[in-house]
Amino acid sequence: MESAKKEVKAVEKARAILAAGKKLFSTKVNSFRLLKKAADVQEKKPEDVKLAAQANMPDEELTKIITLYDSGMRLISEGKSSEAGSVYKQLASLYRQSTGDLKKEIYSRATKLHAEITKNAAVKKKEPETDLIDLPVKEILTRLNLVDYSSPYIAVEEEIISEKTVRKKIMTGVPGFDSMISEGIPVGSSILVSGGPGSGKTTFCIQMLGWSAKQGEKCLFMTFEESEEELIEHMESYGLNPRRYLAEGTLAIQRQDPFKISRMIEALLAHERGELLIDIESILDIVPKGFKPDRVVIDSLSAISSAFSESSTAYRIYVNQLVDLLKKTGATSFLISEVQGIENIGHGLVEEFLADGVIVFYNLQKGSIKQNALEILKMRAVGHEKKIVPFEFVKDTGIIVYPLEKIFM
C-alpha cells in the first residue's frame, strides 16, 4: 500500500515537472535527455580523475580528449548526430597521431561515441509519430529509458524552476534610494551609473559598497583613476571604515592602468583581424585570486574610453566582454561613466544598451538655484520609480535621496 502511494506521488511530481519543462526547454523532452547526460557525466567524473592520476599521459592531451568526448555526447543528447559525427572524426584523427596509453584512451572514448551516434540514429528511425508529450508520464520515461533517473531529474528541475521564479535582490543602503525600486536590484545585474562631473556617481557607489562590506558581503572596487590610498581617504570622508573592511576581507581594491589595457586589446584585435569575439579574460585580471565578490564597482568607463581614443571599435569590444565577464562572476556590478551634458544621457550609448539598469545623476540649475538630482532610467526585471528626484550630500554620511519630493521645491 505504501509502495503504491509513493508511486502515485512520483507520477504526479513527474507530471508537474514535465509541464514546467515545456516552458523551460526548447524541445519537449530535452530536459530529460540533458539531465540524463548530466547524470552520466557525474558518474564518469571519478573515473576521469582516477585516469588522470594513474595514466602515463600528458594532462593537456587528456583534457582535450575528455572535452571532445563530452561535447560529442552532449550533441547526441541534443539530437545533433551530424555534429557529433564531426567530433568523432576529430577523435579518430587524434587516435592516428597518438601512441601508448593515450591512444588506448582515445580508442575507448571514440568507440563509445560512435556507438551512441549509431544508437541515436536507429532510435530516430523507429521513433513513433505520436507526440511523446501526449503520452502518460511513466510511458515517456520508459520510452526514453529514464525511469531510473527520474528522482534526480525531479530534484534538479525543481531547483531550476525555483531559480527561474525567485531571483534574489539586493539593497544599496543609500537612504531614500532603495524605496524607488520594487524589492531591490536583481543579483547579477550590470548597472550603469552615469552623470556629469561631481554629480554624485562615485559617492553613490562608494557609499553602497561600504554599506555592503559592513554587512559582510565581499566587495571589489576597481579603479582606473584614483590610487588605493586616495580611494580609502575618499571612503573615510563619508564615515566609512575601509581599512577595517580590507583587513576583514570584505573589501578589495584593485588599480588598473587603462592605457596598458587599451594597448593589449588593440594588439589582440589587430592579431585577430578585427574579430569581435576576442578573449580579454586571458589578459585582464578582473577579480583578485581567491576573492569571489558579491558586488563590483568599476571607476570608470570614461577613463577606459579615453585610453581607446583612437579606436572606438576596440572600446566597444572591451566593454561588451567586460560586462559578460562580470556576469560570469555572479556579482552585481556598478559601472561608473561620466557623461558631458544632460542631452547626451539616454541616447543610445553602447554602455546603456549592455547594462541591465541605468542610474543617472544630474547637476540641475534653474535660474540661480542649483540642485542635485537622480533618476532610474531603466532597471530590468523589477518595477521602479520613473521620475527625477532630488538628493543632497551630507557630511560624514554621503547621499540622502528624497523620493517623495519634487525638484526645485
Q: 216-244, pLDDT tens digit by residue?
A: 999 999 998 888 999 999 999 998 999 99
Residue 343 is given by DSSP the state: G
Position with higher pLDDT, 44 vs 331: 331
Between 15 and 177, residue with greater pLDDT: 177
Q: Determine the pLDDT at residue 48.
A: 46
Q: Could you give the 3-state DSSP secondary structure of residue 297?
A: strand
In this model, does residue 20 exceed pLDDT 50? yes
Q: What is the DSSP letter of 336?
A: E
Number of domains within the chain = 2
Quote the pLDDT of residue 280: 54
State residue 337 phi and psi, 5-degree precision: -140, 130
Please give the Cα distance from 372 to 391 (Å, whole number).
6
Query: Quick check: is 104 in a domain?
Result: yes
Q: Is the pLDDT of residue 51 over 50?
A: no
Residues 180 and 153 in one domain: no
Does a cis peptide bond (omega within 30 degrees of 0) precede residue 300? yes
Residues 283 and 369 in one domain: yes
Instruction: Please report the pLDDT score of residue 43 as a whole number.
Output: 45
pLDDT mean over 99-120 = 78
Residue-range definition of the domain harbouring residue 67: 2-165
Size (the chain), residues: 409
Mean pLDDT of the chain: 76
| CB contact at 8 A, 191 and 358 | yes
Query: Is residue 400 over pLDDT 70?
Result: yes
Sign, CA dihedral 14-18-24-28, equals positive
User: How far is it, in rounded angstroms, from Cα 24 to Cα 8?
Assistant: 24
What CATH number does residue 332 fall under? 3.40.50.300
- pLDDT reading at 50 higher than 80: no
Instruction: Over range 142-170, report the average pLDDT.
Output: 60
Average pLDDT over residues 256-268: 74
Report the pLDDT averaged over residues 295-308: 85
Comparing CA positions, the residue from 372, 365, 373, 225 lying closest to residue 300 is 225
CA distance 40 to 49: 15
Q: What is the biggest distance separating any 2 CA atoms in the chain, rounded to whole angstroms?
A: 84
Q: How far is CA 94 from CA 83, 90, 101, 110, 118, in A?
A: 17, 6, 13, 10, 21
Q: Identity (one letter) of the amino acid at 404? A: L
Do 96 and 76 have their domain in common? yes
| Greater model confidence, 122 or 62 | 62
pLDDT at residue number 46: 45
Could you list the beta-strand ranges (E) of 75-131. none
Q: Within this chain, do residues 256 and 307 fall inside the same structural domain, yes or no?
A: yes
Q: Is the pLDDT of residue 18 over 80?
A: no
Position 29 pLDDT exceeds 60: no
Which of the residue ranges 2-11, 55-64, 364-373 would you say has the lowest mean pLDDT?
2-11
Residue that wins the pLDDT comparison between 22 and 114: 114
Whether residue 68 is predicted with pLDDT greater than 60 in this model: the reply is yes
Answer yes or no: is 124 within a domain.
Answer: yes
At residue 137, the pLDDT reads 56
Q: Are 385 and 376 in contact (CB under 8 A)?
A: yes
Query: Residue 52: what pLDDT?
Result: 45
Q: Is the pLDDT of residue 299 over 80?
A: yes
Q: Which amino acid is at 375?
A: E
Domain boundary among 165, 189, 220: 165
- Does residue 275 share a domain with residue 153? no
Residue 25, pLDDT score: 44
- Give the domain-ending residue among 99, 131, 165: 165
| pLDDT, average across residues 392-404 | 91
Specify the range with the lowest mean pLDDT, choosing from 248-252, 266-270, 300-304.
266-270
Give the least confident one: 60-64, 161-165, 347-351.
161-165
Q: How confident is the model at residue 373 (pLDDT cuts 50, 70, 90)?
A: very high
Q: Are residues 181 and 108 in the same domain?
A: no
Residue at a domain's end among 165, 191, 223: 165
Residue 182 scores a pLDDT above 80: yes
Report the distance separating Cα 84 and Cα 119, nearest Å. Answer: 12
Q: What does each C-alpha distance from 186 to 151, 324, 379 come to in angstroms?
A: 31, 16, 9
